[in-house]
């Protein structure tokens, strides 16, 4: 399922407790940079957030014949965003606990 499909299902089920959303995460990202290590299929994504923090994600392809830079960047970005989900989830849990 995509983030959008999951969001739609949550809304359809009327689940409205405080939560982290994909849109909220995307709004925190102000820029992104990619780096491919020369001679490899390793791609790194660096997401720059509004508060100055950065999150990294990586991808690698076993077979260089299957390597595609755009796909490597997409996967690396998704891995970086997955780390952001965890960080924002923790932050929300802290806020809720302090209520």
Instruction: Please report, for the domain that includes residue 65, its CATH number.
Output: 3.30.160
Tell me the C-alpha distance between 73 and 43, whole Å: 6
**What string of DSSP letters covers 14-78?**
T--SS---HHHHHHHEEEEEEEE-TTS--EEEEEEETTS-EEEEEE--SSGGG--HHHHHHHHHH
Q: Residue 13: inside a domain, yes or no?
A: no
Residue 21 has pLDDT above 90, yes or no: yes
pLDDT, position 3: 87
Mean per-residue pLDDT, 69-89: 97
pLDDT tens track for 54-66? 999 999 999 999 9
Mean per-residue pLDDT, 8-13: 93
Q: Residue 11: inside a domain, yes or no?
A: no
Q: 99 pLDDT band (50/70/90 cuts)?
A: confident
Q: Residue 70: inside a domain, yes or no?
A: yes
Mean per-residue pLDDT, 24-38: 97
């Amino acid at each position: 399922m995509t983030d959008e499909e999951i969001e739609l299902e949550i809304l359809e089920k009327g689940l409205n407790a405080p939560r982290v959303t994909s849109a909220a995460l995307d709004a925190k990202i102000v820029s992104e940079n990619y780096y491919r290590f020369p001679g490899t299929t390793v791609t790194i994504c660096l997401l720059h957030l509004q508060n100055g923090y950065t999150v990294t994600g990586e991808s690698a392809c076993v077979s260089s014949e299957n390597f595609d830079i755009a796909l490597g960047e997409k996967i690396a970005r998704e891995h970086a965003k997955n780390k952001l989900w965890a960080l924002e989830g923790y932050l929300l849990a802290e806020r809720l606990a302090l209520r």
